Amino acid sequence: MTITHRAVAIVSGLWLLFGPALAGAAGKPAAVDSARLNAADREPGNWMSHGRTYGEQRFSPLARVNDRNIERLGLAWQFKYDLDRVVEATPIVVDGVLYTTGAYSMVYALDATSGKLLWKYDPEVYRGIQGSGCCDAANRGVAVWKGRVYVGVYDGRLVALDARTGRQVWSVDTVIDHERNYTITGAPRIVKGKVVIGNGGAEFGVRGYVTAYDAATGKQVWRFFTVPGDPAKGDESDTITMIRKTWHGDQYWKQGGGGTAWNAMAYDPELDLLYIGVGNGSFWNYGLRSEGKGDNLFLSSIVAVRPDTGKYVWHYQTTPGDAWDYTATQDIIVATLPIDGKPRKVVMQAPKNGFFYVLDAATGQFISAEKFGSIVTWAKGIDKATGRPVFDAEAADYWTRGEAKLVFPGSQGAHNWHPMSFNPQTGLAYIPQHTSAERYDPLKVARKPARGVPNLGVEIPAVPEDRKELDELARLFTGKLQAWDPVRQKEVWSVPYPMMSNGGTMTTAGNLVFQGTTHGELVAYAADSGRKLWRREVSSGVVAGPVTYEVRGEQYVAFNVGWGGAFPITFGAIAQRSPVVPDSRLLVFKLGGTAAMPEVRRRVFTPPAPPPQTASAETVNAGRKLYADNCGACHGLGAMSANVIPDLRYLDAERHKEFEAIVFGARSHLGMPPFGHRLETDDIERIRAFLIKRAHDLKDEIAAARAATEDKTR
């Protein structure tokens, strides 16, 4: 080693030891800029952006905790959230401070070694607004930049906070039309001084876009629409003119078209490309949306743009003419892989549609795609020459035949937003994979968009109320942690889970993969073999992706715990089989940690005590349909809830008396939106009759199960 090299090594070693701490001590907290983010691997102790680095591999070079000592990993500290609700956030850790979010976009700054609350910011989101989004009052975390913390708020605000105090510096409204149901659940990304954020809302009828704001002032720099708008208003750019040719009829722009970019973004500083994952079509029904014609760009695509201008560079569409809610909003990873024997910079994604894609990062050129989903029926494969799917004729045109079709995956995909990770040492991607299915039942006539009403162009899916039928169905909806070789496009190992929608993954140079599960576990596996090495139980389900960081020579592993999101709220019929209870916490571990784990509680189904059923079967049936259209998306289809949002079978006599008042808004401050504009008194009584029936069903089921157990033990 020459003297110069030694000097560089010593200086960078010193930087590792003291640099981050000095940066924090000397000046502002969260003093992150392009230089630090572009060289994030130089300070592996920090987790400075959503996927740790701009390439979002969720790989940490830290190895102090590793496959040989992980049994010594114990709780260092915990933090209890204000609300026992959904926690989807990836924490950000900079210079000893951890920034995270809970439900309703509340932001917390904590001492990363003790969990001491430094400050809290509550954007005071109107609780009743939660029904204006498809998938719970979730937030996937903050971004930090030059002494500020940035959060996208559920109601569409983008807010900059002082990282020292949590005080608001500026706030902008990202929503272009408040008559539509725009939300923000995603984490902002900050590239070259611009805060970039997309919105949610495609299930309700909105037009998707991504906006970049000046991080210092909040001034809008650019906006990139992902689908064309009202042609009478003119195209915003040549790109919009180009993509409009792939849409037909006039329903798409009236409905909004969809294409919301509500989650995935990644950046490559070398290529100076920002990658955006674009969501599904609105309507889902391709026939109603675009007369069943055209690719409908940029639905279900990865789009690369210039971060300075938002100018289009390339796109790759995973699902042309999407008809199944197959978003390409699943996390995007940039990596260098050996392709045909040569290193090539690629982007990788495992979107809902069940195929794992590897694309050239510079050009978007298709390299390979294979099925990672366990059951994928909408397409037979991806044509290697064209990069286009070979559709299954029956699944692909359910809207033209006008009859319901069971398709795999369903709207929950073969993988949802729960972030995957990639370990360059094993060469494997770790996917929170799952199996879902859906019966797509097309409507013949399009409904008009309305506030707070999902508008899919297909019927809200019915779930069986019969216990046996439901058990059959539930057996399909399993999950697994899947280690995937992206070069050979093959599964290398997997660990099965009893249920879908498990938490995001994180992998380290200590040959580890960390993941939380929907049945209330935190687990670590050997990254190369999948061997289970460590496990702790928690009361709630886990959906967020864990992170790891180091402060003063100690490595920490942080898990956000708190169940929620589309699967447990809408598909409570299946999710209720997980025995978890609402209990939202941040749990942080270290080697030799001795803090006491919180007590583990489990859901027990006690018999409900409903009032007697006095309504006719006809009234109950009418109530079933009204419930599905108005209540099922949050309280669970078929009135079966996983208890993230109250299980209405357990309403007591007192609540039944107040039922109409509650529906009209008496509990909107607690999150129950007012439905007075949508439901008449008679309709509310019909819904109540259906709930009483479902409560008696559950009571009978519990009695039958108890009798069966007694029979066995006799």
Contact set with Ca ion (CB under 5 A): 280, 325
Residue 373 CB, nearest distance to Ca ion (Å)? 17
Of 307 and 568, which has the nearer Cβ to Ca ion? 568
Residues present in the chain in total:
714
Of 280 and 507, which has the nearer Cβ to Ca ion? 280
Of 422 and 440, which has the nearer Cβ to Ca ion? 440
Residue 240 CB, nearest distance to Ca ion (Å)? 22
Residue 334 bridge partners (DSSP):
347
Helix (H) or strand (E) run with residue 633 in it? helix 632-635
At residue 551, what is the residue type?
V
Of 133 and 503, which has the nearer Cβ to Ca ion? 133
| Buried-state track 498-528, b at ≥16 Cβ within 10 A, e below 16 | ebbbbbbbbbbbbbbbbbbbbbbbbbbbbbb
The whole-angstrom separation of Cα 43 and Cα 440 is: 48
Angle of the 653-661 helix axis to the 681-713 helix axis, nearest 10 = 150
Residue 134 CB, nearest distance to Ca ion (Å)? 6
Residue 147 CB, nearest distance to Ca ion (Å)? 35
Residue 135 CB, nearest distance to Ca ion (Å)? 8
The whole-angstrom separation of Cα 328 and Cα 356 is: 11
Residue 382 CB, nearest distance to Ca ion (Å)? 22
Of the candidates 540, 559, 535, the residue with the CA atom closest to the CA atom of residue 601: 540
Of 119 and 440, which has the nearer Cβ to Ca ion? 440
Of 325 and 685, which has the nearer Cβ to Ca ion? 325
CA atoms within 13 A on the CB side of 698: 23
Residue 109 CB, nearest distance to Ca ion (Å)? 32
The whole-angstrom separation of Cα 381 and Cα 383 is: 6
Instruction: Tell me the backbone φ, ψ of residue 146, rounded to 5 degrees.
Output: 45, 50
Q: What is the largest CA-CA distance in the chain?
A: 90
Q: What is the 3-state secondary structure of 63-84? A: CCCCCCCHHHEEEEEEEECCCC
Question: Cβ(568)–Cβ(603) under 8 Å?
Answer: no
Terminal Cα distance for the chain, rounded: 79
Of 24 and 200, which has the nearer Cβ to Ca ion? 200
Q: Give the three-class secondary structure for 222.
A: strand
Of 204 and 659, which has the nearer Cβ to Ca ion? 204
Of 296 and 643, which has the nearer Cβ to Ca ion? 296
Question: Cβ(159)–Cβ(150) under 8 Å?
Answer: yes
Residue 278 CB, nearest distance to Ca ion (Å)? 11
Residue 582 CB, nearest distance to Ca ion (Å)? 24
Residue 352 CB, nearest distance to Ca ion (Å)? 8
The whole-angstrom separation of Cα 467 and Cα 419 is: 33
Of 347 and 566, which has the nearer Cβ to Ca ion? 566
Number of H helices, E strands in the chain: 14, 39
Of 318 and 421, which has the nearer Cβ to Ca ion? 318
Helix/strand/coil percentages in the chain, nearest 5: 25, 30, 50
Question: Cβ(109)–Cβ(99) under 8 Å?
Answer: yes
Residue 284 CB, nearest distance to Ca ion (Å)? 8
Residue 279 CB, nearest distance to Ca ion (Å)? 6
User: How many other C-beta atoms are found inside a 10 Å radius of the C-beta of residue 616?
Assistant: 10
- Residue whose tokens read 């030694």: 6
Question: Residue 613 corresponds to which tokens in the numbers above?
Answer: 């059923």
At residue 214, what is the residue type?
D
Residue 165 CB, nearest distance to Ca ion (Å)? 37
Helix (H) or strand (E) run with residue 223 in it? strand 220-225
CA-atom Rg of the chain in angstroms: 25
User: How many other C-beta atoms are found inside a 10 Å radius of the C-beta of residue 61?
Assistant: 17
The whole-angstrom separation of Cα 566 and Cα 411 is: 10
Of 136 and 325, which has the nearer Cβ to Ca ion? 325
Instruction: Tell me the backbone φ, ψ of residue 358, rounded to 5 degrees.
Output: -125, 120
The whole-angstrom separation of Cα 347 and Cα 494 is: 23
> 333 CB contacts (<8 Å, ≥6 apart)?
51, 55, 56, 57, 58, 266, 347, 348, 349, 420, 421, 422, 429
Out of 155, 325, 683, 697, the active site residue is 325
The whole-angstrom separation of Cα 12 and Cα 27 is: 20
Q: In what order do the strands lie in the sheet with 312-317?
A: 265-268, 273-277, 301-305, 312-317
Q: Give the three-class secondary structure for 171.
A: strand
325 is catalytic: yes
Of 280 and 482, which has the nearer Cβ to Ca ion? 280
The whole-angstrom separation of Cα 336 and Cα 41 is: 15
CA atoms within 13 A on the CB side of 415: 31
Of the candidates 392, 602, 426, the residue with the CA atom closest to the CA atom of residue 512: 426
**Which residues participate in catalysis according to the annotation?**
325
